[in-house]
């Protein structure tokens, strides 16, 4: 049997750096959650909530999220196409440019340079860096797919290509701005058009960074971990195309009850509800793939992460459309319910799949057994507990907050002042700090386990499909 010489060095580097940025985002997340309950922990001008919060979100999405995307895509594309990377040198350039971009983003955000667009705060010179980075990445992946030796294109490749094309379009359109100095620019759009473009970008960044890539990983690593194929490839293809056709219309659900035209809001609401179908198409495909394999939930730590991850995806994609309904949105929008929703997606869905992907990759690319399966299981429970504490406490807080904001006296005046509603939030915000600390402990255990695997793990004779010390 011919062995293809795959390039795993670049995968190792991206795994390492994505973990570094993952640690940064969780650490800064814990700090900003503490700043919410202890305002004295804000140290102006640099270390305030206002400047650290975008570092938390951008390190999470672009450092951890995109870092894992780079690592896994560069691995998966080689394996599925049965061919080495088109250009290892370009991938090496991409690695260093990626880190330069993340560092430049962190420094400029700390210094207070911001476009003020959520999830797109970085000023125009960094936009240019992001475009160069994405072109280098996209070119390498697409050229590798073009010169593939495997005729059949597995579903993960479709999601990967969608993410590459989707992010490119979204980022370029939303980044359109007029620079007035090295670190200041003004959006090319004005008023409601600007808001509409921003949330078209914002919500579809969720689609093309936090949905399509984790689905590509899920569809690849689940069957590789269980050793059995997915339930239906054709169903995955239909779910893919449904997602592609529907997702791009949903961004304006972030702008319900705003001056954006009513018909755009209604369109976004309708498409958000329709989006349940493709999302749950993938969830059901995942569950049905486990037919006869549910015992692996007990025995295989990778499966545990992957199935709980796709379950969080299912919950997320049910809760999201509900929130996009006008009446429900009127109640919970601007409350703590919203960050609880977002963190179920990031800490639950995206990170669970990312942890599983890295646990799968590290033993294989280093040729060593995982150092400790009990530690991987411990991390799973820490992550799950931390996430649930985080989200459940803030869902309750959000409902309480909305109830207090809407409460009125018989004469039509508000029952509670804004400060009174703030004071009620404190117990829940402390629970959030606790959840964040437990989650952080889980990340530390994860890193320790991986470091020890590389340093002291027993050499493993492995094939691609066979689990490497994947049994508890």
Partner 1 sequence: MDLASMLYLGVTFGLFVVFVLIFMHTYSKKRKEEGEIAKYRMLDDD
**Interface with partner 1 (CB under 8 A):** 1-4, 79-80, 82, 150, 152-156, 220, 223-224, 227, 229-230, 232-234, 237-238, 241-242, 245, 463-465
Which is nearer to partner 1, 239 or 352 (by Cβ)?
Answer: 239
Which is nearer to partner 1, 135 or 277 (by Cβ)?
Answer: 277
- Spatial contact of 389 and 432, defined as CB atoms under 8 Å apart: yes
Q: Measured at the alpha carbon of residue 214, what is the angle toward residues 210 and 219, in degrees to the nearest 5?
A: 155
User: What is the spatial distance between Cα 303 and Cα 311, in angstroms, rounded to a whole number?
Assistant: 12
Which is nearer to partner 1, 159 or 312 (by Cβ)?
Answer: 159
CB of 239 vs partner 1, minimal distance in Å:
10
* Burial degree of 338 (CB within 10 A; 0-12, 13-18, 19+): middle
Could you tell me which residues come within 8 angstroms of residue 160 by beta carbon, excluding any fewer than 6 positions away?
73, 76, 77, 141, 212, 213, 216
Which is nearer to partner 1, 4 or 456 (by Cβ)?
Answer: 4
Which is nearer to partner 1, 154 or 446 (by Cβ)?
Answer: 154
Strand partners, 363: none
CB of 105 vs partner 1, minimal distance in Å:
35
CB of 144 vs partner 1, minimal distance in Å:
15
Which is nearer to partner 1, 2 or 413 (by Cβ)?
Answer: 2
User: What is the spatial distance between Cα 73 and Cα 80, in angstroms, rounded to a whole number?
Assistant: 10
Which is nearer to partner 1, 116 or 463 (by Cβ)?
Answer: 463
Which is nearer to partner 1, 22 or 281 (by Cβ)?
Answer: 281
- Spatial contact of 350 and 442, defined as CB atoms under 8 Å apart: no
Could you tell me which residues come within 8 angstroms of residue 110 by beta carbon, excluding any fewer than 6 positions away?
46, 51, 55
* Token reading at 229: 């194929």
Which is nearer to partner 1, 104 or 237 (by Cβ)?
Answer: 237
CB of 271 vs partner 1, minimal distance in Å:
11
Which is nearer to partner 1, 66 or 244 (by Cβ)?
Answer: 244
Q: State residue 313 phi and psi, 5-degree precision.
A: -60, -45
Rg (CA), the chain: 22
CB of 420 vs partner 1, minimal distance in Å:
48
Q: Which of 187, 197, 198, 10 is nearest to 91 (CA)?
A: 10
Which is nearer to partner 1, 136 or 155 (by Cβ)?
Answer: 155
Q: Which of 247, 238, 242 is nearest to 207 (CA)?
A: 247
Which is nearer to partner 1, 124 or 220 (by Cβ)?
Answer: 220
Q: Which of 393, 383, 390 is nearest to 350 (CA)?
A: 383
CB of 441 vs partner 1, minimal distance in Å:
35
CB of 81 vs partner 1, minimal distance in Å:
11
CB of 462 vs partner 1, minimal distance in Å:
10
CB of 84 vs partner 1, minimal distance in Å:
12
From first CA to last CA, the distance across the chain in angstroms is: 31
CB of 152 vs partner 1, minimal distance in Å:
4
CB of 450 vs partner 1, minimal distance in Å:
24
Q: Which of 291, 299, 353, 217 is nearest to 469 (CA)?
A: 299
CB of 217 vs partner 1, minimal distance in Å:
13
């Amino acid at each position: 049997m011919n062995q293809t010489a795959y390039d795993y060095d670049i995968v190792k580097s991206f795994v390492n750096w994505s973990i570094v940025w993952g640690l940064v985002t969780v650490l800064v997340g814990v700090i900003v959650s503490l700043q919410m309950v202890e305002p004295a922990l804000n140290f102006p001008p640099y270390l305030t909530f206002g400047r650290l919060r975008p570092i938390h979100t951008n390190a999470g999405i672009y450092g951890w999220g995109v870092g894992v995307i780079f690592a896994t895509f560069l691995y998966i594309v080689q394996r599925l196409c049965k061919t080495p990377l088109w250009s290892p040198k370009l991938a090496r350039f991409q690695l260093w440019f990626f880190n330069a971009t993340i560092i430049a983003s962190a420094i400029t955000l700390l210094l207070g340079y911001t476009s003020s667009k959520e999830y797109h705060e970085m000023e125009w010179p960094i936009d240019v860096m992001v475009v160069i980075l994405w072109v280098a990445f996209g070119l390498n992946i697409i050229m590798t797919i073009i010169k593939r030796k495997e005729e059949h294109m597995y579903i993960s490749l479709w999601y990967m290509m969608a993410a590459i094309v989707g992010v490119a379009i979204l980022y370029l359109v939303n980044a359109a701005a007029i620079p007035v100095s090295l670190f200041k620019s003004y959006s090319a759009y004005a008023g409601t058009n600007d808001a509409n473009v921003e949330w078209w970008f914002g919500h579809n960044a969720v689609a093309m960074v936090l949905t399509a890539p984790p689905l590509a990983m899920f569809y690849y690593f689940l069957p590789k971990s269980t050793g059995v194929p997915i339930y239906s490839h054709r169903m995955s293809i239909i779910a893919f195309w449904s997602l592609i056709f529907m997702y791009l219309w949903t961004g304006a659900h972030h702008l319900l009850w705003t001056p954006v035209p009513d018909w755009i809001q209604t369109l976004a609401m309708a498409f958000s509800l329709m989006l349940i179908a493709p999302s749950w198409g993938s969830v059901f495909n995942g569950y049905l793939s486990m037919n006869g394999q549910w015992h692996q939930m007990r025995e295989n730590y990778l499966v545990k992460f992957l199935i709980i991850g796709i379950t969080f995806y299912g919950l997320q994609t049910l809760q999201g459309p509900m929130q996009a309904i006008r009446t429900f949105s009127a109640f919970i929008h601007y409350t703590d319910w919203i960050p609880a929703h977002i963190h179920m997606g990031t800490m639950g869905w995206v990170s669970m799949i990312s942890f599983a992907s890295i646990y799968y990759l590290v033993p294989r690319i280093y040729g060593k057994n995982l150092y400790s399966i009990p530690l991987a299981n411990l991390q799973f429970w820490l992550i799950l507990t931390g996430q649930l504490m985080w989200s459940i406490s803030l869902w309750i807080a959000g409902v309480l907050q909305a109830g207090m904001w809407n409460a009125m006296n018989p004469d039509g005046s508000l029952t509670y002042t804004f400060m009174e509603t703030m004071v009620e939030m404190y117990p829940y915000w402390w629970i959030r700090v606790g959840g964040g600390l437990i989650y952080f402990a889980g990340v530390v255990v994860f890193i320790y386990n991986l470091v020890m695997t590389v340093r002291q793990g027993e050499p493993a004779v492995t094939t691609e499909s066979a689990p490497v010390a994947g049994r508890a």
